[in-house]
């Protein structure tokens, strides 16, 4: 197959503003808090909303243990969850990559954006937002996942035509 279109993704730092079209950044550094437990605890309240009730869904918590893929990585597919949000919270403090595109029925390769978490930031993909499966950078990295269990089809996958190559490199990562 002849490559007609080659796209090199630029990895951006993960910020609330840049990530807003795709979901929430779960990060206390950019969040307000209030004191609880007689002043001994800061509560960074409602950093993301769990949106899983469609079609009788319920929230669940899981742990994913992920292995890095080979880089440079050719992005060949994306997925979305039309019935619920999905949050990824790093447990070991390791930076990781995020590839996303806004929700919608048509997914264009040019719409993909890449971000890098500093390892203290989690993300909550809004319902229907396209994303690549977890992109760990360290062996056996672990993520706490908050997502949906319940009836209904909740995972759509799209595979890109082989004439388009979407490349994600570890060169030029943000500091």
Domain definitions of the chain by residue range: 5-168
User: Residue 124, Cβ neighbours under 10 Å: how many?
Assistant: 23
pTM of the model: 0.95
pLDDT score, position 41: 98
Mark the ranges of the chain whose per-residue pLDDT is less than 50: none
Q: Give the class (CATH, top level) of 5-168.
A: mainly beta
22 contacts: CB under 8 Å, gap ≥ 6: 100, 101, 102, 113, 123, 125, 126, 129, 131
pLDDT for 138:
98
Candidates 46, 65, 168; CA nearest to 116 is 168
Q: Measuring CA to CA, how many Å separate 174 from each of 11, 96, 116?
A: 7, 12, 7
pLDDT at residue number 1: 62
The SS3 assignment for 81 reads coil
């Amino acid at each position: 197959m002849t490559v007609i279109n080659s796209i090199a993704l630029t990895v951006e730092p993960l910020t609330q503003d840049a990530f807003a079209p795709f979901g929430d950044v779960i990060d206390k550094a950019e969040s307000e808090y209030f004191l609880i437990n007689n002043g001994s605890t800061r509560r960074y309240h409602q950093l993301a909303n769990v949106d899983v009730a469609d079609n009788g869904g319920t929230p669940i918590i899981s742990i994913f243990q992920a292995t890095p893929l080979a880089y440079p990585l050719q992005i060949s597919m994306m997925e979305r969850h039309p019935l619920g949000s999905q949050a990824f919270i790093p447990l070991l403090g390791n930076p990781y990559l995020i590839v996303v595109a806004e929700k919608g029925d048509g997914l264009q390769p040019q719409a993909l954006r890449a971000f890098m978490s500093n390892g203290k930031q989690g993300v909550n993909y809004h319902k229907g937002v396209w994303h690549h499966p977890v992109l760990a950078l360290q062996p056996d990295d672990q993520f706490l996942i908050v997502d949906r269990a319940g009836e209904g089809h909740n995972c759509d996958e799209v595979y890109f035509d082989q004439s388009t190559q979407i490349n994600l490199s570890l060169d030029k990562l943000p500091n």
